[in-house]
């Protein structure tokens, strides 16, 4: 039963990873950019929420409503200031630029907020630890379940946006072939900026989940980036529903690893990532088809 419990908790943790990873996956799918500041930006959102909720005493939901547009605006600016310019200069420049940006963000957070570990758990009362009892003596936390639901809604929303809205069509067109898209009247710059803003909305929700579920400090960003990246790769790069699967696999592996050894949580996560990567690269066709079948390719 303990094993089952760990799997269940891992599944719920996977929900958080999916929220965290969907922005990374979305941006990679649309712009072919891996944003190395992804985790750090989630931590920025977490700090903004914490700052509004704790010292200023806002209700966390109100704080979230304020931070979401602010981060979306930041995403818009990020596109014009960093991403677009660096992507024009070559495929490797966005990596170098966003790595520099992450370093600036992490250290600036440290400079401003200090090294203290923060959490928003206090601001939401009993929701932080309330849980539902399932038959068989299993408990599922209400907050982790909410985050998992959020993940499903977010991924579904992104999928619906890409598949069924005019903006989604423009994003797909711009991502497929920017020059041709421009030729038929798509303003690719604006479209990509909008995609960056959408990414930052998911990043904010990830930051909120992080702040509510766990603790964070100024240097949490890189670790979150690695988790997000592992979830994306395990699930299949560029696929939205695969990201959920990837997050769940990662979460379950980490929870099982923690049962084996105190350090097993991270080791099991990294090892699972590398093994799946290896399997993907070498097992080729059969495995790829298996992974790609119904779950993959939400992003066109």
Partner 1 sequence: MTVPTLSAVNPAAPTGQPAWAIERWTRASVAFAIAAMLLLAALALAPLALQAGVVDRLTTLFIYVILAVMWNALAGYAGLVSIGHQAFFGLGAYAMVRLADAGLGPYPALLVGAALVALAAVPLAVFMLRLQGGEFAIGMWVLAALAHLCVNLDSLVQGETGTSMIALQQYAADDRRAATYWLALAAMAGLCWAVFVLLRSKVGTAAQAIRDNETAAISIGVRVVAVKRLVFVLSAFGCAVAGGLWLATSISFQPKTYFSVQWTAYMIFMVLVGGIGTMEGPILGALLFFAVETLWGGQGVLYLIGLGAIALLFALFLPKGLWGAVQQRWDVHLLSAGYRVRWQAPHGVHADRVVVGVGDERGAHTGR
Site residues (CB under 8 A) for partner 1? 28, 33-34, 36, 82, 85-86, 89-97, 99-104, 107-108, 110-111, 222, 225-226, 229-230, 233, 237, 261, 263, 266-267, 270-271, 273-274, 277-278, 281
Closer CB to partner 1, 134 or 281, in the complex: 281
Treating both helix axes as pointing N-terminal to C-terminal, what angle do 221-235 and 240-260 enclose, rounded to 10 degrees? 110
Closer CB to partner 1, 101 or 205, in the complex: 101
Closer CB to partner 1, 140 or 266, in the complex: 266
Closer CB to partner 1, 261 or 289, in the complex: 261
Place of tokens 């930006």: 41
User: What is the token pair recorded at 204?
Assistant: 């904010």
Q: Centre a 10 Å sphere on the Cβ of residue 50 and count the other Cβ atoms it contains.
A: 22
Looking at residue 126, the DSSP 8-state letter turns out to be G
Q: How near is the Cβ of 101 to partner 1 at its closest, in Å? A: 5
CA distance 290 to 288: 5
CA distance 226 to 250: 11
Q: Which residues pair with 133 in a beta bridge?
A: 139
Q: How near is the Cβ of 88 to partner 1 at its closest, in Å? A: 10
Closer CB to partner 1, 170 or 220, in the complex: 220
CA distance 252 to 260: 13
CA distance 107 to 129: 31
Instruction: Say if residues 233 and 291 touch (Cβ distance below 8 Å).
Output: no
Q: How near is the Cβ of 151 to partner 1 at its closest, in Å? A: 21
Q: How near is the Cβ of 233 to partner 1 at its closest, in Å? A: 7
CA distance 218 to 100: 15
Closer CB to partner 1, 187 or 261, in the complex: 261
Q: How near is the Cβ of 40 to partner 1 at its closest, in Å? A: 10
Q: How near is the Cβ of 229 to partner 1 at its closest, in Å? A: 5
Closer CB to partner 1, 79 or 212, in the complex: 79
Q: What share of the chain is helix, strand, coil (3-state, %, to 5)?
A: 80, 5, 20
Q: How near is the Cβ of 293 to partner 1 at its closest, in Å? A: 22
CA distance 167 to 181: 13
């Amino acid at each position: 039963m303990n094993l089952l419990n760990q799997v269940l908790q891992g599944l719920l943790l996977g929900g958080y990873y999916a929220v965290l990873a969907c922005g990374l996956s979305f941006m990679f799918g649309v712009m072919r950019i891996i944003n190395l500041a992804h985790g750090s930006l989630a931590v920025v959102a977490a700090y903004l929420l914490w700052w509004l909720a704790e010292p200023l005493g806002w209700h966390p939901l109100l704080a979230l409503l304020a931070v979401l547009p602010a981060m979306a605006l930041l995403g818009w600016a990020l596109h014009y200031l960093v991403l677009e310019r660096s992507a024009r200069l070559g495929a490797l420049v966005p990596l170098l630029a966003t790595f520099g940006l992450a370093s600036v963000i992490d250290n600036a957070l440290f400079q401003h907020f200090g090294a203290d570990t923060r959490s928003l758990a206090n601001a939401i009362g009993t929701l932080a630890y309330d849980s539902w009892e399932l038959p068989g003596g299993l408990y599922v936390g209400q907050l982790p379940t909410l985050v998992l639901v959020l993940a499903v809604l977010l991924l579904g929303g992104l999928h619906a946006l890409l598949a069924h809205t005019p903006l989604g069509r423009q994003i797909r067109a711009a991502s497929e072939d920017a020059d041709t898209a421009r030729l038929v009247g798509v303003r690719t710059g604006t479209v990509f900026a909008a995609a960056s803003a959408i990414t930052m909305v998911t990043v904010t929700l990830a930051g909120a989940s992080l702040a509510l579920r766990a603790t964070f400090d100024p240097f949490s960003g890189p670790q979150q980036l690695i988790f997000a990246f592992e979830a994306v790769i395990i699930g299949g790069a560029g696929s939205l529903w695969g990201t959920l699967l990837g997050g769940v696999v990662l979460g379950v592996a980490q929870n099982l690893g923690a049962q084996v050894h105190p350090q097993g949580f991270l080791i099991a996560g990294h090892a699972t990532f590398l093994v799946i990567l290896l399997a993907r690269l070498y097992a080729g066709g059969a495995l790829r088809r298996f992974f790609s079948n119904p779950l993959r390719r939400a992003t066109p």
